[in-house]
Structure 1
Amino acid sequence: MEKITSPQQHDDYPERWLDCESAVNSAFRQLVLNAVSAGWREAEVALVIAEIADEYVVELADKRSLPTLN
């Protein structure tokens, strides 16, 4: 699995989420490539990842631990 870089700024850095997006993007794309290489269609992988992400966001919201993006 691709190594994800650590945050380089303090917790209240206004665009921290953009740094997170950049750090996670490469690992995400590698996950998609691995799934496609295993025989899954790219659209299937994208929809499943979106569903998993949505479920995870709901779990976080239930715990009231979602960060703000602004």
Structure 2
Amino acid sequence: MEILGPRSTKRDEDRFLLCEEELEAAFQELIWKAVQAGWDEGEACVAIASLADHHVLAMQCNERTAASIRKIKL
């Protein structure tokens, strides 16, 4: 399933909503695949939310690490 890139600038107030709309079909497909595999719809949704949360935490950690490395290199 193709996911199109942003059609607006970073300052566009609707950018987050546009991203949600673009990801929605892929999200629904992922939930459907999980349900077809035997997972409960709620379980699949919570698992995806947890994965997203962990991904954000990893991104933050990576940024802190990169900032620390930049300080050391100065």
Name the TM tier (shorter chain): 0.7 to 0.9
TM-score normalised per structure 1: 0.78
CA distance in 1, matches of 2:59, 2:11: 19
Question: What amino acid does structure 2 have at the position aligned with 1:43?
Answer: G
Question: Gapped runs of 5+ residues in structure 1?
Answer: 65-70
Question: Gapped runs of 5+ residues in structure 2?
Answer: 65-74
Extract structure 1 runs of 4+ deviating beyond 6 A: none
Structure 1 residue 14: deviation in Å?
Answer: 2.3
Percentage identity across paired residues of the two chains: 35
More helix per residue:
2
Query: Corresponding residue for 1:11?
Result: 10
- Aligned-residue Cα RMSD (Å) equals 1.4
Name the structure, 1 or 2, with higher relative contact order (CA <8 Å, separation 6+). Answer: 1
CA distance in 2, matches of 1:28, 1:36: 12
